[in-house]
Amino acid sequence: MNTLALDAALRERCRAITPEIIALRHAIHAHPETAFQEERTAREVAERLRALDIEVTTGVAGTGVVGLLRGGQPGPTVALRAEMDALPIQEQTGAAYASTTPGRMHACGHDGHTAILVGAAGALAALRAHLSGDVKLIFQPAEEQVAGASRMCAAGVMSNPPVAAIAALHGWPGLPLGTINVSPGPVMASADAFEIAITGRGGHGAMPHLTVDPVVAACEVVGALQSIASREVSPNAPVVVSVTAIHAGEAYNVIPEAARLRGTVRTLDPAVRARIPERMRRIAAGVCAAHEAEARVDYQECCPVTANDPRACRAIREAAEPLLGAASVRGDGPPSMVSEDFACYLAEAPGAILRLGLGDTPSLHNPRFDFPDAAVPLGVALMARVGLRLLGCGW
């Protein structure tokens, strides 16, 4: 089959499976499962892949599923990835297929991503005799905790056979439906977590001069940490330092012994990221020393910067242009300070994550967000074509 005939067959196959894939999206949406509990979703995915005669491994990194679609011709192995986890949010969409589990919902579109990858697997499986190489289909748990991908990698998902290149998509509210954006370089931030334990000396709320007040010290630390972004890092290098939790004290008339701050740090540059812990320790220790209090900083690196490979971006654009039209395929999206554990796969192979336009929908993680059905067939055709294009790139 030549490229044109292969392309036509792929389009036809994608069209044919669209209703089934939309129904699958609704079924997954109705049964959301949060990080490392994606058992029902994983079972559904594994059954669908087995029905397509794809080699399936389950229980990877807990609840992950990996399919290996072997092509009829020799070639590299490329990977396509989706996430299966939902969020601890009470759904308010009012959809007929809304979450049946209180306090859990697919508010990040991972129901759409999972269904789309099952659809792309179906389209590619129908053409397997003509594929030059193998396609690995990675369905990971726990993206929302930026924990699933690193565990999938530790479980060896990028080896045996080794993955030459990898791609993923994420639905993007605000980007017009029928368009994509895939930009080279950093597209999503690194994510780190910190906890600062401040120790003072407790006492009576009416006699502060006899205490070392950790509340006052903690408040000054929160303010001083803002100078990391404004005074310690170049204005040209985006960095976010957010204190998201403060815990201290119980009673209105007691100055507590200790206070605890927690928060997150985001950067787009590994060199900037590497310098943050020392700055944070210096600021916390210095401010607390001024109050005779002590600070202990526990800094945890969670997820690296997601940096798209330029060649993979080009391959994705080439796959998308015949489908969407050149004007709807863009490579100039501004980076987001949100993080994505897809970065972990990119540490092992070149690849890229594309943003799939979802049009005018509520934002990700909003209780009224719902992955639009209209984006599903586009996603299926796109991922199938991306798989095909990556195979043809000669990595």
Q: Which is nearer to Ni ion, 168 or 284 (CB)?
A: 168
Q: Which is nearer to Ni ion, 77 or 306 (CB)?
A: 306
Sequence-distant (6+) residues with CB within 8 A of 332 are: 181, 183
With vertex at residue 158, the alpha carbon angle to CA 321 and CA 107, rounded to the nearest 5 degrees, is: 60
- DSSP-derived secondary structure for 228-250: IIIIIS-TTS-EEEEEEEEEE-S
Q: Which is nearer to Ni ion, 125 or 358 (CB)?
A: 358
φ, ψ dihedrals at 266, nearest 5°: -125, 140
How far, in Å, CA of 158 to CA of 173, rounded? 30
Q: Which is nearer to Ni ion, 42 or 84 (CB)?
A: 84
The token duo for 384 is 């199938």
Judged by DSSP in three states, 320 sits in helix
With vertex at residue 47, the alpha carbon angle to CA 43 and CA 50, rounded to the nearest 5 degrees, is: 135
Please report how close the Cβ of residue 131 comes to Ni ion at its closest, in angstroms.
Answer: 28
How far, in Å, CA of 150 to CA of 39, rounded? 19
How far, in Å, CA of 209 to CA of 197, rounded? 22
Which 317-376 positions form the footprint of Ni ion (CB under 5 A)?
none
Q: Which of 21, 108, 137, 312 binds Ni ion (CB under 5 A)?
A: 108
Please report how close the Cβ of residue 91 comes to Ni ion at its closest, in angstroms.
Answer: 16
Judged by DSSP in three states, 211 sits in coil
Sheet holding 190-199, edge to edge: 239-248, 258-267, 190-199, 294-303
On whether the CB atoms of residues 49 and 124 are closer than 8 A, the answer is: no
Q: Which stretch binds Ni ion (CB under 5 A): 2-10, 106-114, 189-197, 324-332?
A: 106-114
Please report how close the Cβ of residue 110 comes to Ni ion at its closest, in angstroms.
Answer: 6
Q: Which is nearer to Ni ion, 84 or 378 (CB)?
A: 84
On whether the CB atoms of residues 122 and 80 are closer than 8 A, the answer is: no
The token duo for 240 is 């976010």
Please report how close the Cβ of residue 120 comes to Ni ion at its closest, in angstroms.
Answer: 18
Please report how close the Cβ of residue 178 comes to Ni ion at its closest, in angstroms.
Answer: 20
Please report how close the Cβ of residue 53 comes to Ni ion at its closest, in angstroms.
Answer: 30
Which 194-213 positions form the footprint of Ni ion (CB under 5 A)?
none
Q: Which is nearer to Ni ion, 140 or 179 (CB)?
A: 140
Q: Which stretch binds Ni ion (CB under 5 A): 37-45, 103-111, 238-246, 258-266?
A: 103-111
Q: Which stretch binds Ni ion (CB under 5 A): 8-16, 108-116, 220-228, 249-257?
A: 108-116
Q: Which is nearer to Ni ion, 85 or 134 (CB)?
A: 85
Residue whose CB is nearest to Ni ion in the complex, by number = 108
Please report how close the Cβ of residue 170 comes to Ni ion at its closest, in angstroms.
Answer: 6
The token duo for 180 is 């994509």
How many amino acids of this chain bind Ni ion (CB under 5 A)?
1
Please report how close the Cβ of residue 98 comes to Ni ion at its closest, in angstroms.
Answer: 19
Please report how close the Cβ of residue 138 comes to Ni ion at its closest, in angstroms.
Answer: 15
Q: Which is nearer to Ni ion, 146 or 384 (CB)?
A: 146
| CA 88 to the chain's CA centroid | 16
Judged by DSSP in three states, 88 sits in coil
How far, in Å, CA of 17 to CA of 15, rounded? 6
Q: Which is nearer to Ni ion, 10 or 65 (CB)?
A: 65
On whether the CB atoms of residues 265 and 226 are closer than 8 A, the answer is: no
Where on the chain is the footprint of Ni ion (CB under 5 A)? 108
